[in-house]
A = this chain, B = another copy of it.
Amino acid sequence: MSKSTLKEAEKRTLPPPRTLGRHWLIELKDCAPGLLQDVPGVERIMRKAATVAEVHIVSGHFHQFSPYGVSGVLVIQESHLTIHTWPEYAYAAVDIFTCSPELRVREAIRQLQQDLEAGEVEVKMLERGRLE
């Protein structure tokens, strides 16, 4: 059997992984409002979190809202990180969606809490792509 035929046969017979991804939804409350206001600061914090998580950044895109507030995304090989900030409520919503179980996500969340000076952090983790 040729190598490519064997590979096809294996694909058909091997079961898929249990889940394809993990999605961490992070609520950061009572942050320092000044840290949530502008793109340079928010982008720096998110890139640092990505470094701590040991993900591989493909591209980053951050948008400044007026008069303040930021929406940003880091597209990563392992899926994405996003952030939306509401400085007027001292709140930021962060998502970390990964398709690799080996990443240091918890450490990244701790880093975010520290860098945004969040007084309260809530974390939910949901499985994505749970296949039969």
Which residues of A are interface residues toward B (Cβ below 8 A)? 11, 16, 20-21, 23, 25, 27, 29, 58-59, 61, 63, 65, 71-73, 75, 77, 79-80, 82, 84, 86, 88-89, 91, 93, 95, 97, 99, 124, 126, 128-131
Q: A80 contacts which chain B residues (CB < 8 A)?
A: 71, 73, 82, 84
- CB pairs A–B below 8 angstroms (24 shown): A16-B89, A20-B89, A20-B91, A21-B93, A23-B25, A23-B93, A25-B126, A27-B128, A29-B131, A58-B63, A59-B63, A61-B61, A61-B73, A65-B77, A71-B75, A71-B79, A73-B82, A79-B84, A82-B97, A84-B97, A89-B129, A89-B131, A95-B95, A95-B97
Q: A86 contacts which chain B residues (CB < 8 A)?
A: 20, 129
Nearest 7 CB-CB pairings of A with B: A93-B128, A73-B73, A91-B129, A58-B63, A79-B84, A16-B89, A61-B61
Within the assembled complex, what's the spacing in Å between the Cα atoms of A58 and B77?
Answer: 23
6 extra A-B contacts, CB within 8 A, seeds A71-B80, A86-B129: A61-B61, A65-B77, A71-B75, A79-B84, A84-B99, A93-B128
